[in-house]
């Protein structure tokens, strides 16, 4: 299958300098793909990282070391929309803590995986974009938490649920730029395949169409390559690249007694790709509220928001 991936990329390639552009976060899956595409397949890989205020220290080190070793050209793009939206929703979420509204904390992330990526690909004349998403990511699960009435599927129920969140916590829409980012993100995320195609770009998802996903092999390979996991991500290697994800997973577990890791690793367990012991190890809650509060304070949130987080974290669950 690896030969098919290399052949497909070269077949689609129109750039004389690079074979493809990899969306590189410095996390587990994109780090492995950069190594695999460059070292195993021998491709000329350009990388693009969307930088923001929530990238973990260890991830910054991964980005620097891996791109230096394996990237033919590395491009960083600062996403101010993500910075602004992330801060706004962290400050507004705590006004009415709610499991469903946790989805707002990642506003700007999904947009950043499309809009600036397309811009960079066109500027570099690269028409094949590699996305490291895997089939086990529980993105549909986040949306269903918003839907109202609970348990219903469909866009109309998502909009009803979102309206309910705003009524319960009007501060969520208190920042026009952040609200505009949400609207734009919803459009881009819902139509991303069409948008890439309209811009003459081929979106390739290796772990969907070419490579069998092997979690343990990927983790062991990365350990040998001195890849570092974000300490705030606990036992899980999934999404171990972003402070915001660590914060979101902590509060999800704080409110509900479980978090998204259970969905992610649960799918792998159902497909018999991991053992029960590996599943249990990776879903165990090892988040520390003191560490989470320390991260929140480092993000320059308002004093009022920090006080609310401190009070919220003293409550018994």
* Cβ neighbours for 121, distance < 8 A, ≥ 6 positions apart: 21, 48, 127, 129, 199, 201
Categorise residue 19: left if φ over 0, alpha if ψ from -120 to 50, beta otherwise. alpha
What strands, in cross-sheet order, belong to the sheet with 20-23? 73-78, 45-51, 20-23, 128-130, 202-204
State pTM to two decimals: 0.93
pLDDT per residue rounded down to tens, the chain (317 residues) = 556 999 999 888 877 799 999 999 999 999 999 999 999 999 999 999 999 999 988 999 999 999 999 999 999 999 888 899 999 999 999 999 999 999 999 899 889 999 999 999 999 999 999 999 998 886 677 788 899 998 888 889 999 999 999 999 999 999 999 999 999 999 998 999 999 999 999 999 999 999 999 998 999 999 999 999 877 776 677 776 788 888 988 899 899 888 788 888 899 999 998 999 989 888 876 668 888 999 999 999 999 999 999 999 998 55
| Residue-level pLDDT at 138 | 60
| Residue-level pLDDT at 1 | 52
> If DSSP codes are grouped into helix, strand and coil, which group holds residue 15?
coil
| Residue-level pLDDT at 286 | 64
| Residue-level pLDDT at 81 | 82
| Closest alpha carbon to 130 in 5, 247, 308, 287 | 5
CB 124 within 8 A of CB 281: no
> If DSSP codes are grouped into helix, strand and coil, which group holds residue 107?
coil
Angle between helices 139-146 and 260-270 (to 10 degrees): 130
| Residue-level pLDDT at 242 | 83
| Residue-level pLDDT at 139 | 65
């Amino acid at each position: 299958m690896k030969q098919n991936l290399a052949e497909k990329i070269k077949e689609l390639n129109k750039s004389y300098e690079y074979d493809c552009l990899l969306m590189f976060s410095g996390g587990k899956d994109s780090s492995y793909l950069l190594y695999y595409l460059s070292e195993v397949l021998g491709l000329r890989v350009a990388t693009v990282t969307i930088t923001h205020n929530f990238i973990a220290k260890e991830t910054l080190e991964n980005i620097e070391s891996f791109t230096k070793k394996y990237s033919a050209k590395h491009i960083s793009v600062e996403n101010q929309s993500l910075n602004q939206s992330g801060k706004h929703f962290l400050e507004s979420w705590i006004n009415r803590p709610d499991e469903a509204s946790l989805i707002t904390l990642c506003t700007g992330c999904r947009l950043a995986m499309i809009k600036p990526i397309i811009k960079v690909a066109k500027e570099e004349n690269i028409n094949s974009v590699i996305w490291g998403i895997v089939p086990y990511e529980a993105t549909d699960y986040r949306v269903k938490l918003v839907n109202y009435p609970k348990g219903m599927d469909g866009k109309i129920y998502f909009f009803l649920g979102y309206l309910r969140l705003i009524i319960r916590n009007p501060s969520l829409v208190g920042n026009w730029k952040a609200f505009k980012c949400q609207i734009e993100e919803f459009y881009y995320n819902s139509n991303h395949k069409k948008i890439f195609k309209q811009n003459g770009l081929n979106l390739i998802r290796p772990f969907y169409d070419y490579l069998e996903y092997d979690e343990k092999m990927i983790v062991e390979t990365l350990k040998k390559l001195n890849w570092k996991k974000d300490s705030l991500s606990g036992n899980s290697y999934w999404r171990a690249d972003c402070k915001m994800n660590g914060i979101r997973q902590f509060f999800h577990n704080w409110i509900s007694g479980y978090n998204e890791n259970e969905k992610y690793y649960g799918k792998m367990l159902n497909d018999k790709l991991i053992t029960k012991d590996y599943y249990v190890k990776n879903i165990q809650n090892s988040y520390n509220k003191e560490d989470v509060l320390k991260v929140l304070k480092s993000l320059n949130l308002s004093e009022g928001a920090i006080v609310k987080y401190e009070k919220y974290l003293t409550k018994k669950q």
